[in-house]
Amino acid sequence: MRRIFIGIVLLLALSLMTFFLFFASPVDVTRFACGKNCTPEKRATTEKALGYDKPVLEQWTDFLKGIVVGRDYPDDPELQAAAPDVVTHCAAPCFGYSQVNAQTVNQLIKEAAPVSVSLALMAVFIWVLLGVLFGLLAAVTKGSLIDRGIVGLTLVVYAFPTFFVAIFLLKYVAIKWQWLPFPQYETIAEGGIGGWLTNLILPATTLALFYLAGYVRITRAFVLESLSEDYIRTATAKGLAPRKVLFKHALRAALTPLVTMIGLDFASLLGGAIITETVFSYHGLGALAVRANVSYDLPVLIGLLLLAGAFVILANIVVDVLYAYIDPRVRLD
């Protein structure tokens, strides 16, 4: 309970900070929201419609109010009565309105989020599976050629920039050798689970390869550490088979630090993978953020930042709760 409360306070602080940061920037938001044929009058209307004429703090409270009860854009009761068509209602929780896209931020996020979530899910699956597997293999063959090969190879892969790996996979696997179709995001409804998975393989692999090296090394280090513990000697002295000692006793102990890392990495990935999404032309949250950035679409950026922050805070809470399940010595207060 305390954790959730702290999480909410953190989110409030984050939103306040982003608000002030954006308004402190030299970019004139209204100018961009107003469009090409901007006249001073039109500009004033736009400013009023978006509420940019109000003080920053008031805009912030309006924003918070929007999250709780929803808002209308523009927030003008007279206009609402006279011409309800031009007023967009943004239901709670409302994260703002993008004048550039003429859509609510919620709508934009709703379209982009499934792409990023699918990508993150698939990527986390690949890198955790391979990372733990190779990490274990490296740990049990410590010092051998296999161990050095695994650690060295994942490090080499890690050293390549993401865009290089992405373009490499795209060019060779998809285009030249045609092992996989050219990836285009399909929802499960469109392509079925098979189509959804096939299209995700390349971009998810790109992301996973970046995280793989870290997970191999962490798994290897923690398994080696727990293998030198006294309770491993006890387990061996009982007559347990080596495989059982490794999986039931050593890996279980290495799980705690792994869960922390997985939780946080997965959460930050949920906020969007900018480079990978861009190279593969996936319209996820990362790509949305890039577009919002180039078009100075502040409401979208604020919404995305808050969303990413919320993911990280939520992941922290989930990890804390998981701890109590993994380690009986941890009891939540």
For another protein, give the closer residue by CB, 146 or 274: 146
Site string for another protein, 152-191 (x = CB under 8 A): ----------------------------------------
Q: By CB under 8 A, name the one of 21, 241, 324, 332 that touches another protein.
A: 241
Asked if 77 is part of the footprint of another protein (rule: CB under 8 A), the reply reads no
Asked if 240 is part of the footprint of another protein (rule: CB under 8 A), the reply reads yes
Asked if 328 is part of the footprint of another protein (rule: CB under 8 A), the reply reads yes
Asked if 220 is part of the footprint of another protein (rule: CB under 8 A), the reply reads no
Asked if 326 is part of the footprint of another protein (rule: CB under 8 A), the reply reads yes
For another protein, give the closer residue by CB, 220 or 249: 249
For another protein, give the closer residue by CB, 140 or 269: 140
Asked if 239 is part of the footprint of another protein (rule: CB under 8 A), the reply reads yes
Q: By CB under 8 A, name the one of 77, 238, 243, 294 that touches another protein.
A: 238
Give the total of residues touching another protein (CB under 8 A). Answer: 19
For another protein, give the closer residue by CB, 59 or 141: 141
Phi, psi of 43 (to 5 degrees): -60, -45
Which window, 68-76, 149-157, 297-305, 323-331, contacts another protein (CB under 8 A)? 323-331
For another protein, give the closer residue by CB, 77 or 328: 328
Asked if 331 is part of the footprint of another protein (rule: CB under 8 A), the reply reads no
Asked if 252 is part of the footprint of another protein (rule: CB under 8 A), the reply reads yes
For another protein, give the closer residue by CB, 237 or 294: 237
Name the pairing type of β-strands 97-98 and 103-104.
antiparallel
Binding-site ranges for another protein (CB under 8 A): 229-231, 233-241, 249, 252-253, 326-329
